[in-house]
Structure 1
Amino acid sequence: MNDGNIIYTFAIWLVPLVVAIVFHEVAHGIVAHYFGDPTAADRGRLTFNPVKHVDPVGTVALPLILAITHAPIFGWAKPVPVRSDRLRNPRVHMMLVALAGPGMNLALAMIAAILLALMPGETFAAVLQGSGGFIADNLFNFLLINVFLAIFNLLPIPPFDGGHVVEGLLPRRLAKRYARLGRFGFPLLLLLLVVLPMLSPNADIVSRIVSPVVTFVAGGMLTLAGMGS
């Protein structure tokens, strides 16, 4: 890969990112529909057409900025609408709906690991050196992005998926108070990803907490796929 070619860099990150976040959102909608909430289906969101899910900031602008600055690339799509009051067992089923997104990402990551393991050994070695070619580079980034999205979304902070799981486990009174934090979702995201790392490297939860877990899980998947660590 030509490190100076920002178009190539953006392409090998944007393609796997869009696929990963679209499948993530569709998984939420499919599981919600299974448990009684057809809202996503009624609004035409149970589709893998990325146009239906693209968020101008989270799917395009932010990944582009991160690619240009050589920062870890991630993003989000427009959330698939889910009405917990239409689920048959709102507390339990909402947790399962929340877990469906990260679960889908981990499944996709494992598929990427298997496909990488099927490639010639020298191809994967080239990927690690940044010169594996468009398909190989996309597969490797697809693995990393999916694992990252799964782990990051499981952080116990509303409105992340992990926040919905915590909400379902808390007593009802505490769950309602906890859910109110969801209105501060975007400011919390900026605080965690931008403000705290600027104030102190020790407060960078991505590099200190999320990234090590991503590296461990991705390495484990490659090992299970037969590639070794």
Structure 2
Amino acid sequence: MSTAATRRSEWKISPVFLGIVAVMAVTGWAVWTDFAASAGLAVFLFVTSAWIVSLCLHEYAHARTAHHSGDITVGAKGYLTLDPLKYTHPLLSIVLPVVFVIMGGIGLPGGAVFIERGRVRGRWKHSLISAAGPLTNVLFAIVCTAPFWLDALDGVPGVFRFALAFLALLQVTAAILNFLPVPGLDGYGVLEPWLSYKVRRQVEPFAPFGLIFVFVLLFFVPEVYNAFFDAVYALLDALGISQNDAYCGYQYFRFWEDANPLCEQLVG
């Protein structure tokens, strides 16, 4: 294969990603039309596939920004194809995200792209590479909430509205968590280039445990959990999404549980 052909293949969109987009489209249509026998299962598949799409876009944004900042190796690693299998870590990318969504409706971008930072020159470029991923979650949240803040919900089926609200909640939680200035998260990656070499060396050993520390606080310190979701729901409210809409989206997502009477009433 020629070098030119190799380079073109590095940018070719993965069939795996296109397949996930197709699942998202079909299940979104099933939720909208109430075609599925189980509305909850359709919501689960729609939100999960849309979440994986957002994960791919999150990691692609990191890689694409790195590519334009000097790390041309990201193409050979497959990061520019949007293939989720290229970003996958069995625990961080599959197990933990599903567990956290089911346990508490928290979006955890679990992929990983490995940037050769030595190829990137300039502190602003390093910061932008780290910020690009969570900014994608912000953009995804804006798109999901557009019908709400544009007051364009006339004709939108109730269950689809709930699914969008819950998907927006996942994007908002992911953006907030990623922007925390905690070692191992993107927020720290934004700040790191501006810290002294001594500080970076002192913090480096804690990076693998930063995410674990955050979730221990969230799930075992009620005050932290409540403050976090107060901030999430305040942002959602500013975007036109009520807490009931997001809550009902979460309830439909957990299709294996009995339907909530409040949500069934709100659908009607």
In the alignment, the residues of structure 1 paired with residue 42 and residue 172 of structure 2 have an alpha-carbon distance, to the nearest angstrom, of 22
User: Between the two proteins, what is the percent identity of the paired residues?
Assistant: 25
The answer for the alignment partner of 2:226 in structure 1 is 207
Aligned partner letter, 1:109: A
Deviations 1:30-65 (A, max 9, x none): 111111012322201112233333443334333443
Cα distance, 1:154 vs structure 2: 0.8
The answer for the alignment partner of 1:105 in structure 2 is 137
Change over 3 Å in CA distance of 1:156–1:144 after alignment to 2:
same
Aligned partner letter, 1:99: A
The answer for the alignment partner of 2:177 in structure 1 is 152
| Greater Cα shift, 23-32 or 165-174 | 165-174
The TM-score with structure 2 as length reference comes to 0.65
In the alignment, the residues of structure 2 paired with residue 83 and residue 206 of structure 1 have an alpha-carbon distance, to the nearest angstrom, of 35
In the alignment, the residues of structure 2 paired with residue 93 and residue 58 of structure 1 have an alpha-carbon distance, to the nearest angstrom, of 26
For residues 61-80 of structure 1, what are the structure 2 equivalents within 5 Å? 61-66=95-100, 68-69=102-103, 71-80=104-113
| Greater Cα shift, 113-122 or 23-32 | 113-122
Unaligned runs of 5+ in 1: 127-131, 224-229
Contact map agreement 1:28 1:98 (CA 8 A) in 2: yes
Cα distance, 1:80 vs structure 2: 0.9
For residues 10-159 of structure 1, what are the structure 2 equivalents within 5 Å? 10-66=44-100, 68-69=102-103, 71-89=104-122, 91-116=123-148, 117=150, 119-121=152-154, 123=156, 126=158, 132-133=159-160, 136-159=161-184
Q: Secondary structure at the match of 1:148?
A: helix
Cα distance, 1:17 vs structure 2: 1.8
Q: Does 1:171 align with 2:196?
A: yes
Contact map agreement 1:40 1:46 (CA 8 A) in 2: yes
Cα distance, 1:26 vs structure 2: 0.7
Number of residue equivalences = 205
Q: CA-atom RMSD, angstroms?
A: 2.9
| Greater Cα shift, 108-117 or 21-30 | 108-117
Change over 3 Å in CA distance of 1:64–1:178 after alignment to 2:
closer
Aligned partner letter, 2:128: L
Deviations 1:156-175 (A, max 9, x none): 11110111123223222212
Contact map agreement 2:130 2:186 (CA 8 A) in 1: yes
In the alignment, the residues of structure 2 paired with residue 21 and residue 79 of structure 1 have an alpha-carbon distance, to the nearest angstrom, of 10
Q: Secondary structure at the match of 1:212?
A: helix
In the alignment, the residues of structure 2 paired with residue 68 and residue 81 of structure 1 have an alpha-carbon distance, to the nearest angstrom, of 28
Change over 3 Å in CA distance of 1:187–1:40 after alignment to 2:
same
| Greater Cα shift, 12-21 or 80-89 | 12-21
The answer for the alignment partner of 2:15 in structure 1 is none
Contact map agreement 2:100 2:108 (CA 8 A) in 1: no
Unaligned runs of 5+ in 2: 1-30, 32-37, 242-268
In the alignment, the residues of structure 1 paired with residue 116 and residue 165 of structure 2 have an alpha-carbon distance, to the nearest angstrom, of 35
Deviations 1:81-119 (A, max 9, x none): 112111021x33211111111111111111122245474
Deviations 1:121-143 (A, max 9, x none): 4637x3xxxxx23xx44432332
Contact map agreement 2:61 2:133 (CA 8 A) in 1: yes
Change over 3 Å in CA distance of 1:73–1:118 after alignment to 2:
same
